[in-house]
Structure 1
Amino acid sequence: MEYLYHCLGFIFFIFLTIKLLTRRKQNLPPSPLSLPIIGHFHLLSNPLYKSLATLLSKYGPILYLRVGSRRILVASSPSAVEECIGKNDMIFANRPPTMAGDILMYDGRSYVWAPHGHLWKNLRRLSVVEILSTTSVQKSSSIREDEVGNLVHRHLLGVSADNGSSRKVDLKYLFGLLTMNVMLKMASGEAAARDKETEKMVFKEFKSLFFPSLGTNICDFFPVLKWIGFQGIEKGLKELYRRRDEYVQKLVDGIRFKRTRDNAIENPSVIEKLLSFQEEDPEFFSEEVIKGTTLMMFIAGTETTSVTLEWAMSLLLNHPEALKKVRAEIDSRVGHERLLNDSDLSKLPYLRSAVNETLRLYPPAPVLVPHYSSEDCMVCGYEVPKGTLLIVNAWAIHNDPKIWDEPTKFKPERFEEEKEGSKFLPFGLGRRACPGATIGLRLVLLALGTVIQCFEWENVGSDTVDMTPGTGLGLSKAMPLEALCFPRPDLINLLSQF
């Protein structure tokens, strides 16, 4: 038996020696020294975009990491992004397999998370042509205008019109409520009940379902942890899926019943459109596709938009001269006789510049949704193996002094001349760029412009707004946004008639 062990050991030694001698050394991108098993995990911390930016200063704009079983390529410069999502866009067109994606995303039957291929192309056509086309965006303008009007009339005028005195309002809550109602109305045709207490309950449930604090799932990098049920992560995701599915299915079933009762529906909601498509092509437009599409509207269309509104208003409150410029532009090009509407937005370039500067400083996704390589490729002269997760650090690019003049300063004027491109990435780039960028941006511009048109705004007390970011994956504010507002005298009558 001892002889057998010696023979097996010798064979293993020969096999290992041959493998080491014949293995070709790969020309991988720059990489820090890694540790056994965990790789570079010890170098990463929250917030992720800042810890990656720290490595950027030492190793350059393209970085190769290994975390557990995952290979990661980090791109932190416009040229690296162009190589990955320009030159190699097809190769990096997939999303990485994750536990959350497998459990929560209806087996990949949603445009954002579907693997690149026939299904994804059909879902893309559905999203871009039927839901988020220029025509659809224009048709949904009445929803955005109605909900913004509801915001300024019920929630802002209602608390601030007492003898013209200013009142403190919670803009974090109100912006979240606005974006939720817009997406609910677009998806199902109905916003939350107008009773304020009911609205609060609906909003609380909506937040808990679609924006729980999940963070990075460590089991995706160390699969052995999944096998032992680490921290009950998998169990928690399955329970979240059950609750989400129950909520969305209830919406779909309610609209399906409504369609059997009503012969024709004017201006159908997204779910109504999908149900009509299902009748024509039930094989593709399955329940999972309908629910996956609705789910992505809620996840991608609400929190990112409300967070952008929050940061934009915070920056303008801390820069009153910019706030005055926005108001002066609206006064001169829209006036006081009516509320700002969707068709006015193209006439307000400084407002757009202020929002772009907000997105540069505080992108809602500072690290873009990851891509995944489907085959070996070359990036900036380096070899990148198949199955590598691509992370684009948009925050690092947006704050690079080699690219932007005084990058930490709020200067909307820079976007009066700057052209958008691979150095400005709030919505991603390439075939996986956010398809809802136009509709989200229009809601931000309309809501921000209207509250500035109708109200005077001041910080609470003499302090500036706290601009400390949260520690999650998205760049949300750590502190609530509270401000004092009172209606502008010329617009009180107009607001009262809404």
Structure 2
Amino acid sequence: MYMLYRIFLILINIRIYVYLWESRNPENREMDISAPALFLLVCFLLSCFFVFATAKSRSSSGGSVVLPPGPPPLPIIGNILHFGKNPHRSIAELSKTYGPVMSLKLGTLNTVVVSSPEAAKEVLQTHDHVLSARTSPNSARAIGYHDVSVVWMPPSALWRQLRKISASQLFSPQRLEATKTVRMKKVKELMSFLYESCERGEAVDIARASFVTSLNIVSNALFSADFARYDSKESHDYHDLVVRVTKSAGKPDIANFFPFLGFLDLQGSRKEFKVCTDRLLKVFQGLIDDRFRERLNRTEPRDGSRTDLLDSLLDLNQDDESELNMNVIKSLLLDLFGAGTDTKSSTVEWAMAELLRNPTKMTKVQTEIGRVIGENVVFDDSDIQKLPYLQAVVKETLRLHPPVPFLIPRKAQSDARIFEFFVPKNAQVLVNVWTIGRDSSVWENPTQFEPERFLGSEIDVKGKDFELIPFGAGRRICPGMPMAFKTVPMMLVSLLHSFDWKLQNGAVPEELDMEEAFGVTLHKAQPLYAVPVMKRVGPTSSAEI
């Protein structure tokens, strides 16, 4: 009778879960998951799992451990319904009740969420060696991407090699200086596009324009080639592909909570991820094939000063002892391609949205830019160091709108402790940097956009100040941070130097939609369109640039 009662409860809870999941997230429903056959299959699998898990937990109980507090879980589904459409917000609300170290039961997945600078330091520094593995999403596991991606793979010899290659070949001070001319050229092209839009009186999609600039900076570093042009369909396709990849990898998926259901792909995340990544990998394969042919036909020694990342990777691929096979190389290119474009364009879009909503702040940063750069069209990295208010705008944007709100989920490689709380082996650990950035005990007026808070402040984003860690910290800190701080301010200067901005169709700044679209990257739900208006400084047409 006990067994029948448990199975009956499972059936009821699964049907309730399906109904509530669809009503909360109708856009996630990619197939009819209430079809009778599929419903019975899911119920049967979960029934078997529940019986097994219950028996196992009974036999292994008795330890004296203190788990972090958290909301009471429902049978089977646990706290999945607490996740909501925007988990960073719903979990922030829960942390007000249960504290800065909180546990959630998400299906079969034990999850610990930290939401304070002190707790984040425990995860990212004190216990970094134990909590440096990753919890990979079902969408990435579908194509084995989690085994070869520098983002998702656990620390290993291959992971360290890929990090070292990225740091030395792309993000070192020497390489950033060597690629300075390319960055300046791409920013100049962005300004030309803005002048043309201004002359036509057309609104600019800020995220797409910033994405094209970031994309061409990254593609030149990787392949010595431009990938896109402004207002081209191909550029829009690349942007859509990258956004779809981050959304499919980041959205709540039932298979992330019940991994044994992954093969069913109930929400289409696997299919979406595979379709998008296959298209990008096909482009990379074509470039690799072209480079092989070029190397075979080369009659003169290669100019070492012009070597891009692809050349370096192909050189390493020829080493018999190297683990860099073609699958690993393409995965690294995919990691760098996505992370190096989407997060930058999203940050620029959020910064412009906040400045449009705060005209006095925009005037202040434009005045600083005008004072330092004057009417010059040409500006470079060295000018950014002379613009403290612009740098404060970037920091404040990252505080309010961190590109990756939970960072990349970590996994405990063994049992650990965060303060007095027990973290079991294989538990997922989330660092809610979105909540930390809006913590009233850390920040004054935490929801207000106030760049002035960083003027004269020693707080930085380099992983040492845990109240502001948009790039993470510890051994898995984002390696692309140095390039981001070369690129994002330069793009903002190009947008603000010669133009004033107004919203299209007479919209007023106070009504600007600031809703977020959750994924691995936190995008604006509604793209920001704004019309550039010529200022009385700088050139008067695109031909003068």
Are 2:174 and 1:138 aligned? no
Task: Specify the alignment match of 1:176 in structure 2.
Answer: 211
Q: Does 1:436 align with 2:483?
A: no
What amino acid maps onto 1:368 in structure 2? L
Aligned to 2:21: none
Query: Which structure 2 residues correspond to residues 63-102 of structure 1 after superposition, within 5 A?
Result: 63-102=102-141
* CA distance in structure 1 between the aligned counterparts of 2:99 and 2:429, rounded to whole angstroms: 16
Q: Which moved more, 1:216-225 or 1:74-83?
A: 216-225
CA contact (8 A) 2:136 2:152 kept: no
Residue number in structure 1 paired with 2:515: 469
Pairing 1:492–2:539 present: yes
Q: 2:132 touches 2:411 (CA, 8 Å); kept in 1?
A: yes
User: How far apart are residue 205 of structure 1 and its match?
Assistant: 4.1
Provide the C-alpha distance between the structure 1 equivalents of 2:216 and 2:320, rounded to a whole number of angstroms.
Answer: 30
Any conservation in 2 of the 1:356–1:415 contact (CA below 8 Å)? yes
Please, which runs of 5 or more residues in structure 1 have no aligned partner?
Answer: 1-11
The answer to whether 1:200 aligns with 2:233 is: yes
Please tell me whether residue 161 in structure 1 is matched to residue 196 in structure 2.
no
The C-alpha deviation readout for 1:222-250, integer Å capped at 9, x for no partner, is 13422545345445544444333222211
Q: Supply the distance in 1 between the matched residues of 2:109 and 2:116 (Cα, whole angstroms).
A: 22
* 1:141 CA displacement: 1.7
Change (3 A) 1:16 1:80: same
Task: Tell me whether 399-408 or 445-454 shows the greater mean CA deviation.
Answer: 445-454
Give the aligned residue type for 1:257: R
Cα distance, 1:44 vs structure 2: 1.5
CA deviations over 1:159-217 (Å, ceiling 9, x no partner): 2236xxx54322232122222222222211111354x56x3224314522563441233
Unpaired runs of at least 5, structure 2 = 1-50
Question: Which residue of the partner structure matches residue 9 of structure 1?
Answer: none
1:191 aligns with 2:226: yes
Post-superposition offset of 1:126: 1.3
Following TM superposition, by how much is the alpha carbon of 1:452 offset from its aligned partner in structure 2, in angstroms? 1.1
Alignment pair present for 1:247 and 2:286? no
Is residue 2:367 matched to residue 1:324?
Answer: no
Matches within 5 A, 1:115-134: 115-134=154-173
Equivalence for 2:500? 456
In structure 2, the CA distance between the partners of 1:17 and 1:468, relative to structure 1 (3 Å rule), is: closer
Tell me by how many angstroms 1:117 deviates: 1.9
Percent of counterpart pairs with the same letter?
30
Shift of 1:486: 2.7
Indicate if the aligned counterparts of 2:349 and 2:528 stay in contact, CA closer than 8 A.
yes
Could you tell me how far 1:121 is from its partner in structure 2? 1.5
Give the secondary-structure state (helix, strand or coil) at the position aligned to 2:522: coil
How far does residue 96 in structure 1 lie from its aligned partner after superposition?
A: 1.6
Matches within 5 A, 1:255-270: 255-262=291-298, 263=300, 264-265=302-303, 266-270=305-309
8 Å contact kept, 1:188–1:255: no
In structure 2, distance between residues paired with 1:16 and 1:103:
30
- After superposition, what is the alpha-carbon deviation per residue over 1:322-343, rounded to whole angstroms, capped at 9, x for unaligned? 1122122222222213422122
SS of 1:490's equivalent in the other structure is coil
* Aligned pairs for 1:362-401 within 5 A: 362-401=401-440
Using the alignment, how far apart are the partners of 2:57 and 2:258 within structure 1?
A: 29
Q: Report the TM-score, using the length of structure 2 for normalisation.
A: 0.82
C-alpha distance in 1 between matches for 2:285 and 2:239: 14
Q: Partner amino acid for 2:296? A: T
Greater CA drift, 318-327 or 393-402: 318-327
CA, structure 1 residues 291+381, in 2 after alignment: closer, same or farther (shift >3 Å)? same
In 2, Cα distance between equivalents of 1:18 and 1:417: 54
8 Å Cα contact 1:106-1:288 kept in structure 2: no
Aligned equivalent of 1:5: none
Aligned equivalents of 1:268 and 1:315: distance in 2? Answer: 39
CA contact (8 A) 2:355 2:362 kept: yes
- In structure 1, what is the equivalent of residue 244 of structure 2? 211
Residue 283 of structure 1: how far off its partner (Å) = 2.9
State yes or no: 1:113 paired with 2:126. no
Q: CA deviation at 1:65?
A: 1.0
Partner SS for 1:378 = strand
Contact 1:256 1:272 in 2 (8 A): no
For residues 438 and 82 of structure 1, the distance between their equivalents in structure 2, rounded to whole angstroms, comes to: 22
Residue pair 2:113, 2:429 contacting (<8 A) in 1 also: yes
| Structure 1 residues 339 and 457: CA distance shift in structure 2, 3 A | farther
SS at match of 1:456: strand
1:3 matched residue in structure 2:
none
**Residue matched to 1:286:** 325
Q: Trace 1:42-81 onto structure 2 (pairs within 5 A).
A: 42-81=81-120
Relative to the length of structure 1, the TM-score reads 0.89
2:223–2:310 contact (8 Å) kept in structure 1: yes
Match of 1:29 in 2: 68
**Cα gap change, 1:160 to 1:253, in 2 (>3 Å):** same
Rounded Cα–Cα distance in structure 1 between residues aligned with 2:533 and 2:404: 33
Contact 2:242 2:342 (C-alpha < 8 Å) held by counterparts: no
CA distance in structure 1 between the partners assigned to 2:61 and 2:502 by the alignment: 69
Q: Distance in 2 between matches of 1:243 and 1:458?
A: 36
Q: How many residue pairs align between the two structures?
A: 479
Matched letter for residue 159 of structure 1: S
Contact 1:27 1:383 in 2 (8 A): yes
Q: Which moved more, 1:27-36 or 1:212-221?
A: 212-221
Change in CA separation of 1:481 and 1:21 when aligned onto 2, cut-off 3 Å: closer
Is the 2:80–2:106 Cα contact (8 Å) retained in structure 1? yes
Structure 2 CA distance for aligned equivalents of residues 223 and 113 of structure 1? 16
Matched, 1:355 2:388: no
